[in-house]
Amino acid sequence: MTIDFESEFLKADNLRNFGRVDQAIEAYATIARAAELGGNNFELGRALHGAAIAAFQSADSNNQESSYLRDGLNYLHKAAEVFRSIDETVRLGTIYRDGASAFAKAGLSSQALDYFQKSIVELQQSDEFGELGATYTKFGDYYLARNDLDPANQYYQKALDCFKKDPTKGFYLATTLLSIASLHLKKKEYLEAYEIAEQSLGWFSADHGGERYDYRQTQLYGLLSVICTHIAKEKEAVRFGVLFEQGLKKIDPRSAKNIQVELESLL
């Protein structure tokens, strides 16, 4: 069976970024089956990892019994086994990062902290500063969700330092800016939040050669609709509010609910 892996991954990634989680999981599973039949362990691990990330996206917050959490962890553990077998240290570091975020979302703090530290240890052994920066961002998100704002900011700044060493990681930088804007909103620093959220939205709204980021854009529309109400930008608040509602309707209900829960936690 011949398969164009990059083309199929683009389709699966766009489904996930569009919030079509169940379709994305099936697309990654199809890629995994083709990779396994062809004896391509790297692409197999990559597909299993993608399925895990998609499943985690729909897992309910603070629900340790979520079927999406269970399925995601199953995919993640299989991906870790594959990457260990081919000595892919960097990929293993990213797996620990995404597992940490999933544990944190489920309210499993000790497991989350353990996985974050494992991710940092693995990635510090490489020169993949962008991936290390992404782990610092997710670690910052862990503290932001717990209203522990000083360590959240410290990890976001570590992430920005990493991205200076690897400017090619535009997605990770834009995601970090979204997190920093959320931090400023939490601190009621509305002008700072507005400026940084606009920078993040500018990247996600740009043309990226077929890649779609509707999930992130919807997050930012919601964030900006709230921010604009606090800085007397009524017309922008309404515009972003309309875009937010339209975005929520385009993605699957579980993903939409998670976006709304995350936004409400910042208020």
Tens digits of per-residue pLDDT, 230-244?
Answer: 999 999 999 999 999
Question: Is 81 within a domain?
Answer: yes
Averaged over 152-162, what is the pLDDT?
Answer: 97
Average pLDDT over residues 65-84: 96
Q: Residue 17: pLDDT band by 50, 70, 90 thresholds?
A: confident
Is pLDDT above 90 for 169?
A: no
pLDDT band, residue 61 (cuts 50/70/90): confident
* Total of domains in the chain: 2
User: Does 25 map to a domain?
Assistant: yes
Q: How confident is the model at residue 251 (pLDDT cuts 50, 70, 90)?
A: confident
Of 86, 102, 136, the residue that ends a domain is: 86
Give the chain's mean pLDDT: 94
pLDDT value at residue 197: 97
Most confident of 18-27, 230-239, 254-263: 230-239
Residue 56 is part of which domain span? 1-86
| 152 assigned to some structural domain | no
Whether 238 maps to a domain, the answer reads yes
Spell out a b/e string for 154-172, using b for 16 or more CB atoms within 10 Å of the CB, else e.
Answer: ebbebbbebbeebeebebb
Over residues 193-198, the mean pLDDT reads: 98
Query: Is the predicted pLDDT of residue 209 greater than 80, yes or no?
Result: no
**Structural domain contains residue 162:** no
Q: What is the pTM of this model?
A: 0.91
Domain boundary among 20, 52, 86: 86
Lowest-confidence pick of 181-195, 216-230, 252-266? 252-266
Task: Look up the CATH number of the domain holding residue 41.
Answer: 1.25.40
The pLDDT value given to residue 208: 82
Q: Identify whether 170 is part of a domain.
A: no
Tell me whether residue 26 is in a domain.
yes
Q: What is the mean pLDDT of residues 206-230?
A: 91
pLDDT category at 1 given cuts 50, 70, 90 is low
- Residues 102 and 98: their CA atoms lie apart, in Å, by 6
Mean pLDDT of 64-91: 95
Q: Please tell me the predicted confidence (pLDDT) of residue 184.
A: 98
The C-alpha angle 157, 159, 162, rounded to 5 degrees, equals: 115
Please check whether residue 148 lies inside any domain of the structure. Answer: no
Last residue of a domain, one of 86, 111, 138: 86
